[in-house]
Structure 1
């Protein structure tokens, strides 16, 4: 309802009941407003009466409990309660940096929960300057209740004008822009200029005043996992790359906590907006096939055409950008790694997005050209099928895209997976090549995946796809018309299943964490 409310949510993000934050000093008195983001200690009481099936929620800025609850809701919690359950706390901060603290909580079944002794609670964390912190104390009585406190706190940070240039910044290639110039170009980073956002921050459309050149300015968020290390990596890698199918980095800016990158402006945004979630415009097959070949050409340059081997490590539809003629350019090199030709890549923290991560990465920690090929295979399938590599909304048998495509392939019905929005208007030979290569690239065994040079030749039609490179049959007997399979390919899921993924401690919200 607003950014300052209390709600009761049951198995949903939509509140069953909600009311603006406040409290009553006495029965019949008017409600006193309470600002959740004030930074002051707030105490909460959650009571559930299992006889009357009523949940009461009360909050107050002091340890003295108000006489009347702020919110009452009639609900039978018995269908949701188990004999053993977990009580947890979570917090949401919106788009900006904030912090929330649970200093203490008390719980009781059948009776009054023990009062919190504020003097014995941990000391209040001293917030940084310009930060705002909310601290909550909680008392829970009666039956077991799972508590989730979601607090949106917005922080206004004043802009400081000083720009300090360190020695290492002078050694980086692309042009260094002033913060003032980029602020003016984006109309003060106005929401009207916002092109998109993600885990790494926001991207704004801008126009450079001295040349009227349209650019895209990526402003790395303060609480982003992409810190100074990734920022410098993106500058040092993409800044020296030159290829028609790579997004060109024009320049950059670092100003204290603000990290900004300036790119060529891509008029049609990212590829995922044309494939998923009811796109406004549907790409025809010729456009899709040209995009696929463009990405392949860009990856070939990264792997073989540059003075070092560049591993992108985050190939996916949202990182494929389209210019005004729908030509594909691979972007976002914040996770890229470079190493010398003939040398072995070192281990590093596991990064990437669920569905695109090669199965060997969690085991070895080494990103290679083969792991980029695996992600490219996922991209091939999603462009052909118009589906995400892992679609939680899909039918169980269609949950993992590569498994579904392989199953249809072995049944001799692989064209059943083609995006229905193409209305059957596509070159069947090209489609079969794309689907087969998508499966081959998804091989569990890295050495069995083709190189990007081989893939480019197959896609360009320079050579035909050999019979012995076809995917395996998932079941005994093989698929009709495809008997000469190479059985060295794994017949298990090429993408980690959800059960397997849950065992990876570094998975966070579909993306791999930074630890």
Structure 2
């Protein structure tokens, strides 16, 4: 009996090994039950084992990636390894004449496409980065939409894409018969039939072949596409592999039934007998029968509805009226309609309220068209001049081009009567301020806090030095750091941000910001700079490590957090300033290092503060910190600012437009 049981378990093990075989060089999935894929958007594994990237829903995106990176580059000579993949897929549309945007096989350095646009850009790119060599992205597209701007050959084609959606090489979908290799057989990708793709790259010959055929036909000898292409400038040392798909306005389901991949070898053949069945297309004939039955009734009701509709037109125009001046035409792609935002937030109802700040309220919303979650900040405005508003909107649009995994994407704006609406991407885990200071929230451990500090540092490095222009945020603080689904830090609220060209200086203005984060020199010059952002970041670091606000209110006086940490350092007890709720005792050396980095960034002399690039190197321990002494850090920021006439909490926003005064609220 024991022997039979062992034999059964051995056979069962062999079965699952055959069905889902994976190694450091490749894998084989005959169906996806039990697989460990990274799923994003609408992507899911169905109970039958299908990888469903999208279902019959409009304006959705789905992605699926193998969770491990694969090495694509030979370290000895820098050449790209040969690789091979094959997968079975199906595109099922409610209307067989119309379809979503197809399926893309992707090799990417990242799984994070938070800055990408859905639908037209397949959830991979956006208007500003489509075609950029910095993407390092390779894709094979099974495209069922004709996009003339990308020079598509038709609405049913296969293409090879490098860093963008304009194909390097493409062909109408089909295959060449082995009996007569001049005979081309057309295939309709959206037919609802199961098909198979083979992608083979020869690293020595630098040749890429893409082959398509219906299942269960054997792989044709002549590929559909064959291109001489060296991927050494495209692929990085290690990359993710996966799929992405999007639906536009058409109801389409995109499926992958099986997938095999290998580096330095041929992908293992799929076992068709183990693949899950492809669902049949849902017929729409029943809907048309119902339509014809209801048509007479609908015609009778039309007259009544027309009368009621006429009465509602004027009321709706007044309800959703908004300003649109001629100069805004250039910015129209970044402008949301008030009607769209009103619907997204349920009429800005109290149930959707996320927070209230000194200059407006923030609401959660869901865009009706794309189902994307957003946060909308309503800012009461009284612009001093049309020119001022024009300059402000220009900067909003410029900031909308920012793209970094540690920034909250600013999606656009809306102007209506006496208010300005700023639209951001919604972050599920709210603000860091709430997690640090709300006793009802779970306590963040040291590893999570370190990850957040590094994330904000990376965001500021991008803003100060790595983007096309220099962006001074001017309001770095815990309430403006939001946390996404994986508790990654996202710096948001660019209502006070200012842009200028590299090598130039930001002009002086009235001081803005939040008490406790304001650099001492602002009291004298009113001139924001990257150094004032660094000061605010230093205060932010101390707040995260210590779990205390920048200004500590005592029974008799207010104490500045920076001064309190310096005083404890002077007593030889700097590590005791850490938030004791964390509980970790084995990280004291790293905690002490980060506290000193925070103090260095908060140095009273701007010239003594490091740049954000140096700060990132200190945090990553790539560069030793300079020697510091508490004697050189002794100062009282709060007293200095108070004596120079600062408001105890917030400073007013400068001209040109009070509309952008958002100092005390944050997108959550």
Alpha-carbon contact 2:435-2:443 (below 8 Å) kept: yes
Alpha-carbon contact 1:179-1:253 (below 8 Å) kept: yes
Structure 1 segments (4+ residues) deviating >4 Å? 222-225, 227-231
1:171 pairs with one of 310, 330, 333: 330
Sort the Cα spacing of 1:288 and 1:426 in 2 relative to 1 into closer, same or farther, 3 A. farther
How far, CA to CA, are the matches of 1:243 and 1:296 in structure 2? 12
Alpha-carbon contact 1:271-1:320 (below 8 Å) kept: yes
1:492 aligns with 2:623: no
Alignment of 1:276-287 (within 5 A): 276-287=437-448
Displacement of 1:234: 5.4
1:208 aligns with 2:348: no
How far, CA to CA, are the matches of 1:403 and 1:284 in structure 2? 24
TM-score by length of 1: 0.61
Displacement of 1:249: 1.4
How far, CA to CA, are the matches of 1:380 and 1:224 in structure 2? 35
Instruction: Point out where structure 1 has 5 or more consecutive residues left out of the alignment.
Output: 1-157, 475-488
How far, CA to CA, are the matches of 2:332 and 2:450 in structure 1? 34
How far, CA to CA, are the matches of 2:506 and 2:395 in structure 1? 18
- Structure of greater Rg: 2
TM-score by length of 2: 0.48
How far, CA to CA, are the matches of 1:173 and 1:455 in structure 2? 38
Sort the Cα spacing of 1:388 and 1:229 in 2 relative to 1 into closer, same or farther, 3 A. farther
1:448 aligns with 2:605: no
How far, CA to CA, are the matches of 2:502 and 2:418 in structure 1? 35
Whose helix proportion is higher, 1 or 2?
2
Alignment of 1:215-234 (within 5 A): 215-222=374-381, 228=389, 232=393
How far, CA to CA, are the matches of 2:323 and 2:459 in structure 1? 35
- For CA contacts below 8 A with separation 6 or more, give which structure has more relative contact order: 2
Query: Cα RMSD between the aligned structures?
Result: 2.4
Displacement of 1:389: 0.8
**Of 272-281 and 370-379, the range deviating more from structure 2:** 272-281
Displacement of 1:395: 7.2
Give the match for residue 514 of structure 1: 653
Give the match for residue 381 of structure 1: 542
Alpha-carbon contact 1:174-1:252 (below 8 Å) kept: no
Give the match for residue 247 of structure 1: 408
What secondary structure does 2:551 align onto? coil
1:273 aligns with 2:430: no
Instruction: Point out where structure 2 has 5 or more consecutive residues left out of the alignment.
Output: 1-316, 655-668
Deviation digits for residues 318-355 of structure 1 (CA, Å, limit 9, x no counterpart): 11111111111111111111111111221111101111
1:413 pairs with one of 573, 580, 587: 573
Displacement of 1:455: 0.5
Alignment of 1:28-43 (within 5 A): none
How far, CA to CA, are the matches of 2:333 and 2:404 in structure 1? 15
Give the match for residue 308 of structure 1: 469
Alpha-carbon contact 1:230-1:334 (below 8 Å) kept: no
How far, CA to CA, are the matches of 1:223 and 1:299 in structure 2? 30
Deviation digits for residues 371-395 of structure 1 (CA, Å, limit 9, x no counterpart): 1000000000000000011122477
**Equivalent residues, number:** 336
Displacement of 1:310: 0.7
How far, CA to CA, are the matches of 1:492 and 1:348 in structure 2? 25
How far, CA to CA, are the matches of 1:308 and 1:232 in structure 2? 17
Give the match for residue 527 of structure 2: 366
How far, CA to CA, are the matches of 2:651 and 2:391 in structure 1? 15
Sort the Cα spacing of 1:162 and 1:315 in 2 relative to 1 into closer, same or farther, 3 A. same
Deviation digits for residues 442-493 of structure 1 (CA, Å, limit 9, x no counterpart): 1111000000000001111222323x2x2x233xxxxxxxxxxxxxx45222
Deviation digits for residues 31-68 of structure 1 (CA, Å, limit 9, x no counterpart): xxxxxxxxxxxxxxxxxxxxxxxxxxxxxxxxxxxxxx
Alpha-carbon contact 2:321-2:338 (below 8 Å) kept: no
How far, CA to CA, are the matches of 1:240 and 1:173 in structure 2? 14
What secondary structure does 2:361 align onto? strand
Give the match for residue 461 of structure 1: 621
1:504 aligns with 2:644: yes
Alpha-carbon contact 1:249-1:264 (below 8 Å) kept: yes
Alpha-carbon contact 2:397-2:412 (below 8 Å) kept: no
Displacement of 1:213: 1.1
How far, CA to CA, are the matches of 2:555 and 2:390 in structure 1? 37
Alignment of 1:5-404 (within 5 A): 160-172=319-331, 175-222=334-381, 228=389, 232=393, 235-393=396-554, 396=557, 399-404=559-564
